[in-house]
Structure 1
Amino acid sequence: MAAASSLKSLLAALAPAVFVVLWATGFIGAKLGLPYAEPGTFLTLRFLVVVLLMAPLLLVLPDQRLAGWRSAGHVAVVGALMHGVYLGGVFAAIGRGMPAGLASLIVALQPLLTAAVVGPLLGERVRPRQVLGLLLGLLGVGLVLSGKLAPGGEGHLFRGFGLDALAFIVAALLGITTATVYQKRFAQHAPLIGGAVVQYLAAALVVGLPALLFESNRVVWSGEFVFAIGWLVLVLSIGAVSLLMLLIRWGEAAKTASLFYLVPPVTAVIAFLLFDERLGPLALAGMAVTVLGVALVVIRPHRL
């Protein structure tokens, strides 16, 4: 019993760090695979593969099935927002030229939005040091974004992409924020496997219908694309998202959301190593401020 308890405590301690690294690779997978398929087509394939892999498990794991239509409805809303709107917005923004590191930075504003609504909706108290941490995180993200502004005369507000990409990434930010709060209030006790199947079916509808209407649905089956979709299915859609559901179940929504502040530095490092996306001194300073903000939100002070 003691060994099992110690193992659970160790897993709970490691889970946030593992989640951050896995989640950061999602932005890299998007950048790697998008040259070979349009965003909606790419995501629809990803979601359907996840469903095909996970749905058969429900035949042998009856305890993982959802309790009824009401529960399935709540889970479907989470899936539509968390996977359909959030991932759809991220992939569309990166597909329109936004760097992977910058996309991760903008959606890192999620904790500030989450903290603004958890009080009235979930009854969670946000402490003064958490507010300070959230504001520092916002400041850090702002410092990084300031270095991405295009010089005057280029015809674009940002280097390499336009306002359509910015609109998509803001939609992604709103989607993941709403999904986190909704999951905590209405669907936190849903079984992981049954919940995942319904979530990805709902997400496939959200991104699949626009893809059929507005995209060519052409896929170039290169080695890079197969690796990207395999990684995103197995590591992100199954591994990281299941871990996120557990983190939301184990902790307060504002603290879970604050983990997303750590994703941009990790994404930026990976993007630099793989795609030579470079960061200037101001961006590095902003990321340091962001990490400090996360520490204030997540780490509980020891009482003497």
Structure 2
Amino acid sequence: MTDSTAAIVVGIDGSEQALRAVRWAAAEATPRNLRVDLISGVDPALGYFGAGLPIPQDAFDAVERLAHQQLTEAAAAAHEIGPGLAVTTERLRVPPVPMLIDASKKARMIVLGASGRGGFTGMLTGSTAVSVVAHSECPVVIVRDDGEASGPVVVGVDGSPTSITALGAAFDEAAWRRVPLVAVHAWSDLDYASTAPVEYALLETEPSEQEQERILSESLAGWAEKYPDVRVERIVVRDRPRRQLLEWSKNAQLVVVGSRGRGGFQGLLLGSTSQALVHYAQCPVMVVRPQEAA
């Protein structure tokens, strides 16, 4: 594996969605002087690992030639965005999930297309996407649509340690892109009824809007000093987080969320919020895991 310490890693499978991910990664890497590492894995269903009869050598060679051709095409797409961009390509005889998780140990981020074929088939509809996002040691970006070029960066905030980590990534993205940051704290009584601490269950009413404002203010404390040039818009609304974030994704460049949280974000990776963002967000989505869990 190439040393990816200062690299953005993109999973390649020959699909148009993968090329879209490449172009997004190249646009991200170019102004930051980062390298883009393009990696391709093997679908274990092809019989490379002793499952059933091995495929004929001619067929194996044809698959390998196609994979290398796809990597070459992906590198060309990256150079169209950044002509001077440092790009590496690598073909690994490893299934996509362990390949990407291993790459995440050194990568700045992992970037995946919203759907694909070959080794990445079902990437966002089955266990593969959940496994990569849940176990990645760096942020994972899922690129479905390019997003609005002039839109803001949007981040979901719930006061949890993971969302604070996501806030840091979102501020960094907004600063590099020179766009505003929209910090969204959404909650609903139903969310709190099912996920709030026991103390809240003893209250006659749900946490007040003032309490929600306090959570957002405390989460944002200190970030303005670190990123003085980033204009922040604060949104506190009684609504389901997924509905708010999906609505904001229509006009955003990027939506950033923590991998798990509390309140409305409970079970983000396995529940309805993550599924909605993965399947329906109209801009790229970055999922950030807590630093202490990396």
Please say whether Structure 1 and Structure 2 have the same fold, judged by a TM-score greater than 0.5.
no
Report the structure number with the largest CA radius of gyration.
2
User: Between Structure 1 and Structure 2, which shows a larger proportion of helix residues?
Assistant: 1
Normalised-by-shorter TM-score class = under 0.3
The structure whose RCO (Cα within 8 Å, separation 6+) is larger is 1
TM-score (norm 2): 0.25
TM-score (norm 1): 0.24
